[in-house]
Amino acid sequence: MSDKPLIVQGDLTLLLETEGPGYLPARDAIAPFTELVKSPEYVHTYRVSHLSLWNAAATGRSADDVLAALHEHSRFPVPQNVVREITQYMGRYGTLQLVREGDELHLVAKDPLALTEARHVKAAQPWMLDLLAPDRCRVDARFRGHLKLALTLAGLPVEDLAGYTVGDPLSFTLRETCVSGKPFQLRDYQREAGEIFHAAGSVKGGCGTVVLPCGAGKTVVAIGAMALAQCHTLILTTNVVAVRQWIREILDKTTLTEDQVGEYTGEVKDIKPVTLATYQILTYRQKKDADFPHFGLFAAKKWGLIVYDEVHLLPAPVFRVSAEVQATRRLGLTATLVREDGKEGDVFALIGPKRYDVPWKTLEAQGWIATATCTEIRLPQPISRYVEYAQSTDRERVRIASENPAKKAVVEELIEAHKGESILVIGQYISQLEELAAELDLPLITGQTPQRERERLYKDFRDGRIPALIVSKVGNFAIDLPEASVMVQISGTFGSRQEEAQRLGRILRPKEDGRQAHFYSLVTRDTREQEFALHRQLFLVEQGYQYKVEVRELGVG
């Protein structure tokens, strides 16, 4: 019997045994072209999907590379239908290409049969015009994004080589010493990510997504890409705090000046050569059926680059307008391409394929992000709550389990255990957080907290005047708290893997004293919350984190 840990199944699922020395090499080999589906203790299940194969192809991997990894680590021969599927679907990437011919946009095919198939995709037909040759047709350039999305959803990914508008020029350089006085240079992986995206200005680059963990400097990757592009840039992000952090970083690390960098939010609307805006302001409208008045920002200047921070969170209206700005270079930044609504294909088609990623544990080993331990603490409910739980709907059960009062004592215990460290307590339900904040006499930040007050509390936390801070889901994204080393999660958004990744990322910035990060998730055992927790863990397990489970005894409360 072979000691290889991988079993490749005919339905394109992979079973990977976690015990034994072959596990880590096999996991690292298959990670670039698979998605983790289940992660019980001894055997993890991965899926090979069309999208995972196309993203792998976009990073330069071939079908031969993928099959070589499977053959090397598989205990049994790889089924022939799997070989055919991988070869066929990876071969599709690049078979259809969008190219510019003078003022026209053409869809060309390496195989005329692929163009015939594309022309029979009903959703794409409105934008496919004259057939110029068996392998070439003219398409409506105004609907470049709509065409790519329709064909991607039909299983026909398009490699976009039509090029981009130059955008208004903007000359600046990266500083060698930050305004703050610290020396500055791009890390190797940050420089490499920017260069791969930019591709020396060729049509081979200019659109796509960079996947890096929180704390690894995705903002700096974008600044590096901006320095390569040297053009007016629009940057979209999740909230006002993030906008202002971006502005601070840009002014600190580049020669751009305050009169060149503007904020476009609900509070300030200042359009400059580099403009930072929130998704919320772009998707604001007075009535559900009204127009989006701030979409004009996309046409306000001749942008040469649009940066989408936290691209996995793009709201549907921004997807819509992104379909119409395909002639502008587009850079997506994210810690995970997972979208719980299954719209990863929209990111692939409209923003661009994954161009670059680095496993979290690789950056941890190199010292660029903090070492982290992940612990799930499973708690019983007080007996009185079990009857209420049993008689409730599924949705109500999640909330009842999430608001388990037994969690308060554990939060107190963890705060005491990590005394002297900077601790974040995060949750989903405002009433639960308000009660906890009152009982523990700790400050609370929610979506209703005024911006000025948020920034004051964040500053006090960074400066050590507040040892622990309670935050709602506004703390999932783009808060710059480099000293935070402990996260206690008391409730979450159902089984959201992306939220789990974002929350862990809040504590991964390297600590000056080399301190380890600790991520705790408090879960009510034998409930729907425990089921969701298993799903949330998938991303962390996929990135190589060991997830310790601690079970508390019955009778608490």
Q: Which CATH number goes with the domain that contains 534?
A: 3.40.50.300
Find the domain containing 458 and state its range.
364-551
Contacts of 24 (CB under 8 A, 6+ apart): 544
Do residues 287 and 383 share a domain?
Answer: no
Do residues 147 and 244 share a domain?
Answer: no
Do residues 203 and 316 share a domain?
Answer: yes
Do residues 373 and 470 share a domain?
Answer: yes
Are 33 and 61 in contact, with CB atoms under 8 Å apart? yes
Question: Which of 537, 522, 534, 520 is closest to 402 using CA atoms?
Answer: 522
Do residues 353 and 383 share a domain?
Answer: no
Decide if 181 is inside a domain: no
Give the tokens for residue 444: 């609370």
Q: What is the pLDDT along the chain (557 residues), one digit of tens a residue?
A: 578 999 999 999 999 998 889 998 999 899 899 988 877 778 889 999 999 999 999 888 999 999 999 999 999 999 999 999 999 999 999 999 999 999 999 999 999 999 999 999 999 999 999 999 999 999 999 999 999 999 999 999 999 999 999 899 999 999 999 998 999 999 999 999 999 999 999 988 999 999 988 788 999 999 999 999 999 999 999 888 889 999 999 999 999 999 999 999 988 999 999 999 999 999 999 888 888 999 999 989 999 999 999 898 888 899 889 999 999 999 999 988 877 777 889 999 999 999 998 888 788 888 888 888 999 999 998 888 888 888 888 888 989 999 999 999 999 999 999 998 999 999 999 999 999 999 999 999 998 888 889 889 988 988 889 989 999 987 776 566 667 899 999 998 766 777 887 788 788 887 777 788 999 999 999 898 888 888 777 777 777 777 788 998 754 43
Do residues 516 and 414 share a domain?
Answer: yes
Are 453 and 391 in contact, with CB atoms under 8 Å apart? no
Do residues 486 and 384 share a domain?
Answer: yes
Do residues 447 and 476 share a domain?
Answer: yes
Do residues 23 and 38 share a domain?
Answer: yes
Contacts of 366 (CB under 8 A, 6+ apart): none
Q: Which of 326, 358, 390 is the last residue of a domain?
A: 358
Alpha-carbon distance values, 419 to 185, 372, 412, 464, 467 (Å): 35, 18, 11, 12, 8
Do residues 82 and 130 share a domain?
Answer: no
Decide if 557 is inside a domain: no
Number of domains within the chain: 4
Decide if 262 is inside a domain: yes
Burial of 550 (0-12, 13-18, 19+ CB in 10 A): exposed
Do residues 267 and 309 share a domain?
Answer: yes
Do residues 54 and 154 share a domain?
Answer: no
Give the tokens for residue 45: 């299940």
Decide if 178 is inside a domain: no
Decide if 170 is inside a domain: no
> Are β-strands 484-489 and 422-426 bridged in parallel, bridged antiparallel, or unpaired?
parallel
Decide if 169 is inside a domain: no
Amino acid of residue 466: I
Q: Which of 77, 92, 107 is the last residue of a domain?
A: 92
Sign for the CA dihedral angle at 456, 457, 459, 463 comes to positive
Between CA 394 and CA 449 the distance in angstroms is 31
Residue 202 neighbours by CB distance under 10 Å: 10
For residue 100, the surrounding DSSP H or E stretch is: strand 96-101
Decide if 317 is inside a domain: yes
Are 198 and 352 in contact, with CB atoms under 8 Å apart? no
Sequence-ordered alpha helix ranges (H) in 312-464: 316-322, 344-346, 360-365, 383-390, 394-402, 406-417, 430-440, 451-462
Give the tokens for residue 397: 């059960």
Decide if 180 is inside a domain: no
Are 268 and 240 in contact, with CB atoms under 8 Å apart? no
Give the tokens for residue 225: 């890409």
